[in-house]
Amino acid sequence: MEFKNYVYLTLLLCFSSIVTAQRTPTISHITQEQIRDIGSQVDLDCSVHYAQDFPVIWIKDIQENDAGWYQCQVLMSVSNKITAEVELQVRRPPIISDNSTRSIVANEGESVQMECYAGGFPPPKISWRRENNAILPTGGSIYRGNILKIATVHKEDRGTYYCVAENGVGKGARRNINLEVEFAPVVTVPRPRLAQALQYDMDLECHVEAYPPPAITWLKDEIQLSNNQHYRISHFATADEFTDTTIRVITIEKRQYGLFKCKAQNKLGTDEGQVELVG
């Protein structure tokens, strides 16, 4: 049920016990500012002296909800009235505004700005956190303010950020903001030198970190290798930015000993690693 169904305006009309002549009405008392929760009841009182010959009414500014200024009026004539006002404020839980950041994509090294705004009463306070309470790029696990700025974003800054709006009413509000950082490939080789006898198989491996996901190729003697009876290439994406790539050398022949190169390339750059296969 909406709050406006519970608002009661109580008019207390006080009259003098001795009436000798008509006296000018006065508003002797009006309720002070009121703050209420949605769904609760509020009484607004207006005490008027010497108003038996004049209508006394309540009016309110037109608004979308029951919060606002209420005015007690004594109508002396069409153009003359005595007034007093009381403000009613309604506590409302936070709602994060549509103009807040939802997601952002940036290149490594750029500056990044995430914004978060919320409505409600009392005015909500905004704080920022990272997933799993990781340290923020600004330092510490919590940052307070509407705007979170990262002067120089690094690939380690990617992930989920939480904008939290709280004002003591309800449980507060939260928005998940995904920060995607695009960066050039970084190739690492867990085992750069491997030994295996002739006629046996051997897996050579590279680990690639990049975003967007890169094109990955294997080369030997600067010739690109492909799947055939001698080689089997596999890529395993463990996350959007992590890929393990493996080439299996099948039934090793003497000519297959030497340096193998794994190469990764995306729009931001290229990197490569080398694995040496020896007998």
Q: Do 194 and 263 have their domain in common?
A: yes
Instruction: Give the pairing of strands 42-49 and 7-14.
Output: parallel
d(Cα 3, Cα 9) in Å, to the nearest integer?
A: 14
Choose the final residue of a domain: 51, 75, 91: 91
Whether the CB-CB separation of 139 and 151 falls below 8 Å is answered with no
d(Cα 59, Cα 194) in Å, to the nearest integer?
A: 88
Q: Do 156 and 215 have their domain in common?
A: no
Choose the final residue of a domain: 183, 209, 231: 183
**pLDDT (tens place) for every residue of the chain, 279 residues total:** 233 323 335 433 333 233 335 688 898 898 999 988 888 888 888 888 887 778 888 888 767 688 899 999 998 887 899 999 999 989 999 999 999 999 999 999 999 999 999 999 999 999 999 999 999 999 999 999 999 999 999 999 999 999 999 999 999 999 999 999 999 999 999 999 999 999 999 999 999 999 999 999 999 999 999 999 999 999 999 888 999 999 999 999 999 999 999 999 999 999 999 999 998
Q: Do 176 and 201 have their domain in common?
A: no
In 3-state terms, what secondary structure has residue 90?
Answer: strand
Q: Do 220 and 178 have their domain in common?
A: no
Choose the final residue of a domain: 62, 91, 120: 91
Q: Do 172 and 201 have their domain in common?
A: no
Whether the CB-CB separation of 7 and 40 falls below 8 Å is answered with no
Question: Which residue range(s) make up the domain with 152?
Answer: 97-183
d(Cα 237, Cα 240) in Å, to the nearest integer?
A: 7
Whether the CB-CB separation of 21 and 54 falls below 8 Å is answered with no
Any idea what the CATH number is for the domain that residue 77 is in? 2.60.40.10
Q: Do 198 and 273 have their domain in common?
A: yes
Take residue 1 and report the two structure tokens written for it: 């049920």
Structural domain count of the chain: 3
The reported pTM is 0.70
Residues 255, 261, 265, CA angle at the centre, nearest 5°?
150
Q: Do 7 and 28 have their domain in common?
A: yes
Q: What is the biggest distance separating any 2 CA atoms in the chain, rounded to whole angstroms?
A: 127
